[in-house]
Amino acid sequence: MRLKYFLILSFSIIALLFTRCKDDVVEPEEDEPKTETEWSIPTYADDYSSIASWANRSEWNLANVHDPSVAYYDGYYYMYGTDASYGNEHEGHGHFQGKRSKDLVNWDWVGAPFYDPPSWVADSLNSVRSRMGLEAIPEEEIQYGYWAPVVRRVNVGGQEILRMYYSIVINNYIKTGNPTSTAFDGSWTERAFIGMCESTDPSGAVWEDKGFVTTSSSDLGLDYSRASTNDWSGYFYYNAIDPTYIVSPGGKHYLIHGSWHSGFALLEVDATTGKPVNTLGEPYADSASELTARYGQRIGTRNANSRWQASEAPEIIYKDGYYYLFMAYDGLGVPYNTRVVRSENIEGPYVDIRGHNFTEGEGDSYPIVTHPYKFNLSPGWVGISHCAVFQKEDTNEWFYMSQGRLPESVNNYIMMGHVRKIVWCPASASEPDNLWPIALPERFADVPDYGTITKDSLVGTWEHIKLEYKYAQQNTASSLTLNADGTMSGALTGDWSYDEEKKQLTLGNVIVCVEREVDWEATPRRVTIVYAGTEKNLNATYWGKKSR
């Protein structure tokens, strides 16, 4: 089936959709205002394999999205992501695939920043190798990978530009320089690099490359030996991939990066040039303290005693006095899930919702922002992480974007872009102003404002999911009934209440935030009511959608 971008519905059709029988839809409140704005429920297919070819790229919409980053520029939201796609249909067509949108629902293809590896990468790689006493790798034998850019709108010299930091990994062995597809040579894989480019014309795919920013760095000196391919001790202390970028309220510019190794590095960069403020020096040292003094302060680690800790992809935002640091946990195929910590200072310490110190590596962090899940009537989604978090222009609305993969039982190579609205929910009933970000369970569809969500509209049957950490397993839905007398039955028992002004539903002792979204599992898709929220001692998140 070919994708369709728009299903144009008049208001009368929308009204009809909302007034079907209770078994089909959530009924609207009687005082819902009419809207003159035309709106359509997205109809593009989640399994896009039939249109995965490059020739069909104009129909992809959010197909073939991996590790996205989003920035608003000149009337559009521009999104760039890792060079990956179903069936490798991207090959030969540029790196860091781009899309743009006006409404965060319908996305059009835009060209990539560049189509060949920047020449500085081979030069930088072989310069380091020479200083390490290693033979240069011929440029034609270097195996490149293009990963996880971050894009931001910044003001440089009074001009608004898009600035992108991108990762290029080298898939050759350190010792011999041979590709890692050949026989193991007793060494670790070569380093990664972070480079930077800028644009004032992203719609025309016109970018100026600015070259080297930083590279993977080691605290083990020149001991790059590896006992076997099952050795996960790690040569590099910081892995130079997965950059995120922020301008502090005081005007300082910072990169945070890192993946799987010892943790996340904070590196200050110059506002004008985008390059490190301090001289980096050699990307190897004899101790962690010597290395981090040059290559960045470690601001977080999942496990302070491990060099191979299954956390990556930091993403940072600033809101209401806090830096919120989002991160991905575990392997990307199925178990990928998202956590968030925060700090009043960019350097940390970053703590989770329970007060556990992420900077010091005090174990897994909560809350869970996303996790593999399954509502009824669908196979659900897995691999939901490595996110972009961004604010909608001229609003107080925040959004979460990542890829979602279909389960292995369907087609785990499908990577559909998911945009979700973020709700800010209390950590507990006794801390109503201690708000934490949670992504909604259903993807954003830009549902019109149909008026107040009333208590009466919440009465009925819901699909309730307790998002809790289960490695490589989908959390599944159970039936929950909110009774008109204020009691619950099914997945939860006890009492429920609702604050209409704050749109906060209290389920027992857990406060969840309520919004309208589209039920993407229904056939046909329809508007419903959803919730998301947590409690600081729950070590889990509640997701739900009303089914009738």
As separate numbers, helices (DSSP H) first and strands (DSSP E) second, the chain gives 4, 29
Instruction: Show Cβ contacts of residue 429 under 8 Å, excluding neighbours closer than 6 positions.
Output: 506, 509, 511
Do 104 and 199 have their domain in common?
A: no
How far apart CA 541 and CA 85 sit, in angstroms, is 30
SS (H, E, C) 323-379: EEEEEEECCCCCCCEEEEEEECCCCCCCECCCCCECCCCECCCCCEEECCEECCCCC
**Phi, psi angle pair for 49, to nearest 5°:** -55, -30
Do 117 and 216 have their domain in common?
A: yes
Do 188 and 211 have their domain in common?
A: yes
Looking at residue 32, what is its pLDDT? 42
Do 63 and 169 have their domain in common?
A: no
Whether residue 351 is contained in a domain is answered as: no
Looking at residue 308, what is its pLDDT? 87
Looking at residue 5, what is its pLDDT? 28
Domain region containing 145: 113-241+265-296
CA 73 to chain centre: 20
Do 26 and 143 have their domain in common?
A: no
Looking at residue 37, what is its pLDDT? 56
How far apart CA 67 and CA 59 sit, in angstroms, is 20
Looking at residue 33, what is its pLDDT? 39
User: Which pair of tokens denotes residue 284?
Assistant: 């190897």
Do 58 and 132 have their domain in common?
A: no
Q: Which segments of 349-489 does DSSP mark as H helices, in order?
A: 455-458
Do 401 and 532 have their domain in common?
A: yes
User: Which pair of tokens denotes residue 142?
Assistant: 């270097």
User: Which pair of tokens denotes residue 173?
Assistant: 């062995």
Looking at residue 386, what is its pLDDT? 98
pLDDT tens-digit series, residues 175-212: 999 999 999 999 999 999 999 999 999 999 999 999 99
Looking at residue 35, what is its pLDDT? 44
Angle at the Cα of 544 from the Cα atoms of 542 and 546, rounded to 5 degrees: 160
Instruction: Show Cβ contacts of residue 377 under 8 Å, excluding neighbours closer than 6 positions.
Output: 521, 522, 523
Beta carbons within 10 angstroms of residue 323's beta carbon: 23
**DSSP single-letter state for residue 10:** -
Looking at residue 92, what is its pLDDT? 61
Number of domains forming the structure of the chain: 2
DSSP annotation string for 98-162: EEEESSSSS-EEE--S-SS--HHHHHHHHHHHHHTT-PPPPGGG--EEEEEEEEEEEEETTEEEE
Do 104 and 128 have their domain in common?
A: no
Whether residue 135 is contained in a domain is answered as: yes
Whether residue 86 is contained in a domain is answered as: no
CA 121 to chain centre: 26
At 87, which amino acid appears? G
Looking at residue 84, what is its pLDDT? 82
Whether residue 347 is contained in a domain is answered as: no
The dihedral of CA 56, 61, 66, 68: what is its sign?
Answer: positive
Whether residue 254 is contained in a domain is answered as: no
User: Which pair of tokens denotes residue 405?
Assistant: 């993969």
Do 147 and 186 have their domain in common?
A: yes
End-to-end CA distance of the chain: 29
List per-residue pLDDT tens for the chain, 548 residues long: 333 322 323 323 333 333 333 333 333 433 343 344 589 999 999 999 999 988 888 999 999 999 999 999 999 999 999 988 887 766 766 789 899 999 999 999 999 999 899 999 999 999 999 999 999 999 999 999 999 999 999 999 999 999 999 999 999 999 999 999 999 999 999 999 999 999 999 999 999 999 999 999 999 999 999 999 999 899 999 999 999 999 999 999 999 999 899 999 999 999 999 999 999 999 999 999 999 999 999 999 999 988 888 999 999 999 999 999 999 999 999 999 999 999 999 999 999 999 999 999 999 999 999 999 999 999 999 999 999 999 999 999 999 999 999 999 999 999 999 999 999 999 999 999 999 999 999 999 999 999 999 999 999 999 999 999 999 999 999 999 999 999 999 999 999 999 999 999 999 999 999 999 999 999 999 999 999 999 999 999 999 999 98
Do 483 and 525 have their domain in common?
A: yes
Are residues 152 and 161 in contact, defined by beta-carbon separation less than 8 angstroms?
Answer: no
pLDDT tens-digit series, residues 74-101: 999 999 999 888 877 667 667 898 999 9
Whether residue 306 is contained in a domain is answered as: no
Whether residue 498 is contained in a domain is answered as: yes
Do 65 and 133 have their domain in common?
A: no
At 112, which amino acid appears? A
Residue 18 parent element (H or E): helix 11-18
Whether residue 320 is contained in a domain is answered as: no
Instruction: Show Cβ contacts of residue 320 under 8 Å, excluding neighbours closer than 6 positions.
Output: 435
Instruction: Show Cβ contacts of residue 140 under 8 Å, excluding neighbours closer than 6 positions.
Output: none
Do 287 and 332 have their domain in common?
A: no
